[in-house]
Structure 1
């Protein structure tokens, strides 16, 4: 068998992953990934409409805009009740 000796970069990464700061950032990342998943599944961001990086960037911006507007409308409805 072999024992892997992690290099300095990997050792620092492993130390960071065992820290409290990493777990706090991971909690935030979960919420962000949830929104990204919603945009892919429910709003068509899983498939590019056109060709090119600029077009994909625009599609992403518009999709994020729509998701945010829907969220604002929903929050305003909750406040009105």
Structure 2
């Protein structure tokens, strides 16, 4: 089953990215302005509920 996550930390050094990437970076602005939650609904039929590994959220 796929679920929505507010954050996903791939690295223990994730805080460094907040220091290095400027606050006015275009990708940060897009993340604030666009609601990507529709992607979960669009992709939910691509994941199996009872077979294989747990799904990694696409957002």
Please indicate, yes or no, whether the TM-score normalized by the shorter chain is above 0.5: no
Larger helix proportion of the pair: 1
Q: Report the TM-score when normalising by structure 2.
A: 0.39
Of the two, which has the highest radius of gyration?
A: 1
